[in-house]
Amino acid sequence: MTTLDEIKEYLCDKGYEDAIVFVNPDFCKAFVDASEDGRAIYDYELMVESLMEEDEMDEMDAIEFIEYNTIRALPYMGPKAPIIKYPPEDDEE
C-alpha cells in the first residue's frame, strides 16, 4: 500500500475503522498490516528508510525524527495507537 487512503480502506475492510494511522505520508511505505486487536502496524526500519529516501535525511536524522516526533506521541494516541515493529535484536554471547 502506498497511500494513506489505501491504508485506511484496508483497515476498514478488516473492520478496524477506529484504528489510528500515522498521517505522515512518508510512513505509508512502512505500513505492514493490522494487529488482531485492530491496530496499524508499521515497520521501524522501513520508516527510517522512507525518511531517508523521501526527505533526504541521513540515517541518524531519520532515527531522531522518528524517536522525537512519532514514538514520543504514541502514549497520547490511546488504545488504538499504531504499533511499531522493531528489528530483532542480535544476541551477543
Q: pTM of the predicted model, to two decimals?
A: 0.91
| Residue 83, strand partner residues | 41
Give residue 92's pLDDT. Answer: 57
CA distance 51 to 19: 23
Q: Flag whether pLDDT at 14 surpasses 70.
A: yes
Q: Flag whether pLDDT at 1 surpasses 60.
A: no
Convert the pLDDT of each residue in 20-71 to its tens digit.
999 999 999 999 999 999 999 999 999 999 999 999 999 999 999 999 999 9
Query: How many residues are there in the chain?
Result: 93
Supply the DSSP string of 24-88, one letter for each residue.
Answer: -GGGGGGEEEE-TTS-EEEEHHHHHHHHHHHS---HHHHHHHHHHHTGGGGGGS-TT--EEEPPP
Joined grid coordinates for residue 85: 515493529
